[in-house]
Structure 1
Amino acid sequence: MFGAERTRTLLGPADPARNAAVGPPLVSARELIDRASAIETVAGRRRVHPTRRLVLAAGTLAVAVGAVAVLQPFGQGAPDTPGEPPAAAGLVLMPVAYQFDADPPAAGPQLRMLADKIKDTAYDHQSGRYMYHHTKVWGDPVMTSADGRHHVAFASETKVWQAADGTGNQIRTQLEPQYPDQESRDYWQRESAARPAATGTPAPSVRPLSPEDLRPLSADPSELRERLKVEYGAGAASKWVGTLYGQYVVPRATRAAVLRVLADVPGFRWRGQVTDRAGRDGVAVTFDDREHDQQSLLIFDPRTGELLADELLTLSPVRISSYKVILDTAWANQPG
């Protein structure tokens, strides 16, 4: 879902450049200006349309600093006192704390036990035309400094109502900036201090969804293995589990089958009890992809087997690369 790391994971052994070291691309001043033009003024406010990871070249630093001011606000509401630099704001993301941090056991036995005991969730007793999902995401796009060290991205909150034919509505709200470490927060605060901060909160963007033929869900293990791309390994499976739960209202039988399919994928480790970014209790599994210096994290509800969240972390140093939290899933008769 997020950037080149996820793409490499999905391609797996089929990636012809899997052993190549690819540095951050340089972005020209012209391209930055073109990207800035994607920002609309709506009701006197600025709204950002995410496109891709932004890497700021040293030769375009002056333009970049201006872009930082446009991509703000660092805080929501009124700006700081005139004449003073904007106060540092935005969350520094901390990795989820694992019950089993060192030498975690293989996840297979625990995933099978979880599959055997899961219970119904609220939407198992609902019906409706639209699949509803309320999610919070961070990590796409990410603005990166020219040296590749400092990162910032805006969290976003999305509510989607989607029918089986793909149609429906989506409401997306840009939230606060978030940082993978304190050094990044300090860096971007310094870059923005000399520029006027934008005021107000960006208006939510509302758009209709285009028709799309959504493939019906099945609890058949062979079909799920194909859908979750397990042939490419645990990293690809992690990505596609997040996609599955972010688009479908997954019934109990399929939830159990997903857990059993993951139990047979080599590489997943059991991390035990965790608390997700919404403060909910969960159980977690991870997969370490040392070749690409990243870790995939899946957090499940220990009672229903639902996916609560998925994350991608950089391993060296350990920091958050992206996250998605599924705040609500339901059936609905009308789109929002």
Structure 2
Amino acid sequence: MFDTSSTKALLGPADPARGVPIPPPRARAVDLIALAEATVDIDVASGVRRRRILVPVAAGVAAVGLVATGVVAGGLIRRHPPGDTAGQATGPMPTGTAAPTPTRTAAPTPRFGPVVRPVAFEFDKRPPAAGDQLRALAAQLTPSRCDTTTGRYTFIHTIGWNAVFDDTPDGKSQRIVPSERWEWRADDGSERFRSTLLPAVYPNEESYRYYQKHPVQPSGTPAAVVHDLPPNPDRAIVPLPTDPAEVAKKLAAGGKQFLFWNVRDWFSAHAVPLATRAEVLRILANTPGVVWRGETTDRAGRTGVAISLDDKAAQHVLIFDPSTGEMLAWDDVERPVDTVAGSTLLLGCEHTDQLG
């Protein structure tokens, strides 16, 4: 099959477009899906969530038009190459004199692979019920940066994925494309988020070896996306409840099978206040089937405590900071193959007057 360069060489002087630069290659469908997923806004109140999926390459066709035209989730995407800060001062900026940027703890560097395996637990076999441990944890929580910082914007920094891409002819080798997301949300519904795709990792050794021999060529997918949304009452931040009955009602949306997903969504989209964090832990403590996995280390190298809710198809994992009760990580592990089909690392949460 002729590509653009070979066709132009064949035409030579007769080429009517001679001298016109050749554009970069089109993005691969699997990369576009991952990029689109990285820019989808999470609407916790409506119960809309991104589900764990195994996506064949053909399924990416529907996403191509969205990203190629620069429209995702109802807003305009601006693409910037690495290191380009153009446009970062536009969008929903604070009024008046901005307060100094609070001292932000540097985000840890995650360790993903190249082969992604489930995290190791203190209690891997025969774990005890999690009730007593979670209730004790809820009773001794200390404030986090979400509680001690102030500012117009709620800032949240995450890395994760919700899909495993199968784009090999034999269907036996898969890739995971993590995305990193920085989000600033204001009470009036204005929002900025930046997202970028990270290098691919692999769910098993077989897939890793395959892609070592058959590397994926650079796709031309934008390295970074900046997405600004103007003020909109429909997107205004709705404070999370602190009343135990209301917390339990909202977390129960969708049934027990979605409990860990709902917790993940809360921490991924909100600065969850201390009182609500404590109540979340108590609700998990009273949920049948939730077991205590004990001390663990997440993919950012942080020590936390883990719980899981297991069924025949998957193991659902939450890792919490043992001091503050903040979620450090969420994993969805497919059984029996132990593929980490979905994962979220919460790397930063605070309030600020500064946009990035």
TM-score of the superposition, structure 1-length normalised?
0.71
The answer to whether the Cα contact below 8 Å between 1:170 and 1:206 also exists between their aligned partners in 2 is yes
Of residues 275, 278, 282 in structure 2, which corresponds to 1:253?
A: 275
The answer to whether the Cα contact below 8 Å between 1:153 and 1:177 also exists between their aligned partners in 2 is yes
Match of 1:109 in 2: 132
Q: Are residue 150 (structure 1) and residue 173 (structure 2) matched? A: yes
Match of 1:294 in 2: 314
Residues 162-191 of structure 1 show CA distances to partners (whole Å, capped at 9, x for unaligned) of: 012331100001111011111112233444
Match of 1:310 in 2: 330
The answer to whether the Cα contact below 8 Å between 1:90 and 1:177 also exists between their aligned partners in 2 is no
Q: Distance in 2 between matches of 1:227 and 1:299?
A: 20
Match of 1:275 in 2: 297
The answer to whether the Cα contact below 8 Å between 1:168 and 1:335 also exists between their aligned partners in 2 is no
Q: Are residue 284 (structure 1) and residue 289 (structure 2) matched? A: no
The answer to whether the Cα contact below 8 Å between 2:165 and 2:176 also exists between their aligned partners in 1 is yes
Match of 1:213 in 2: 236
Match of 2:224 in 1: 204
Pair 125,116 (structure 1): closer, same or farther in 2 beyond 3 Å: same
The answer to whether the Cα contact below 8 Å between 1:230 and 1:265 also exists between their aligned partners in 2 is no
The answer to whether the Cα contact below 8 Å between 1:143 and 1:151 also exists between their aligned partners in 2 is yes
What's the CA shift for 1:153?
2.3
Q: Distance in 2 between matches of 1:25 and 1:141?
A: 6
Report matched runs for 1:94-173 at 5 Å: 94-140=117-163, 142-145=165-168, 148-173=171-196
Pair 230,271 (structure 1): closer, same or farther in 2 beyond 3 Å: farther
Q: Distance in 2 between matches of 1:147 and 1:199?
A: 21
Identity %: 36
Match of 2:247 in 1: 224
Task: Look up the SS of the partner of 1:309 in the other structure.
Answer: strand
Q: Distance in 1 between matches of 2:325 and 2:244?
A: 16
Task: Look up the SS of the partner of 1:111 in the other structure.
Answer: helix
Residues 80-128 of structure 1 show CA distances to partners (whole Å, capped at 9, x for unaligned) of: xxxxxxxxx9721021000000000011111001001111113312211
More moved, 119-128 vs 32-41 = 32-41
Q: Distance in 2 between matches of 1:146 and 1:199?
A: 19
What's the CA shift for 1:266?
1.1
Match of 1:68 in 2: none
CA RMSD for the aligned pairs? 3.0
Match of 2:285 in 1: 263
Residues 26-48 of structure 1 show CA distances to partners (whole Å, capped at 9, x for unaligned) of: 775xx666655645896789xxx
The answer to whether the Cα contact below 8 Å between 2:185 and 2:192 also exists between their aligned partners in 1 is yes
**Letter aligned with residue 323 of structure 2:** R
Match of 2:260 in 1: 238
Match of 1:326 in 2: 346
Pair 32,154 (structure 1): closer, same or farther in 2 beyond 3 Å: closer
Pair 116,156 (structure 1): closer, same or farther in 2 beyond 3 Å: same
What's the CA shift for 1:312?
0.3
The answer to whether the Cα contact below 8 Å between 1:128 and 1:333 also exists between their aligned partners in 2 is yes
The answer to whether the Cα contact below 8 Å between 2:154 and 2:349 also exists between their aligned partners in 1 is yes
TM-score of the superposition, structure 2-length normalised?
0.67
Q: Distance in 1 between matches of 2:255 and 2:127?
A: 22
The answer to whether the Cα contact below 8 Å between 2:116 and 2:203 also exists between their aligned partners in 1 is yes
Unaligned runs of 5+ in 1: 4-22, 46-88
**Letter aligned with residue 145 of structure 2:** A
Pair 331,25 (structure 1): closer, same or farther in 2 beyond 3 Å: closer
Q: Distance in 1 between matches of 2:81 and 2:302?
A: 37
Q: Distance in 2 between matches of 1:116 and 1:236?
A: 25
Q: How many residue pairs were aligned? A: 265
Pair 33,312 (structure 1): closer, same or farther in 2 beyond 3 Å: closer
Q: Are residue 335 (structure 1) and residue 333 (structure 2) matched? A: no
Pair 43,282 (structure 1): closer, same or farther in 2 beyond 3 Å: closer
Q: Distance in 2 between matches of 1:215 and 1:321?
A: 30
Pair 190,252 (structure 1): closer, same or farther in 2 beyond 3 Å: same
Q: Distance in 1 between matches of 2:328 and 2:289?
A: 21
Q: Distance in 1 between matches of 2:323 and 2:81?
A: 46
Pair 137,335 (structure 1): closer, same or farther in 2 beyond 3 Å: same
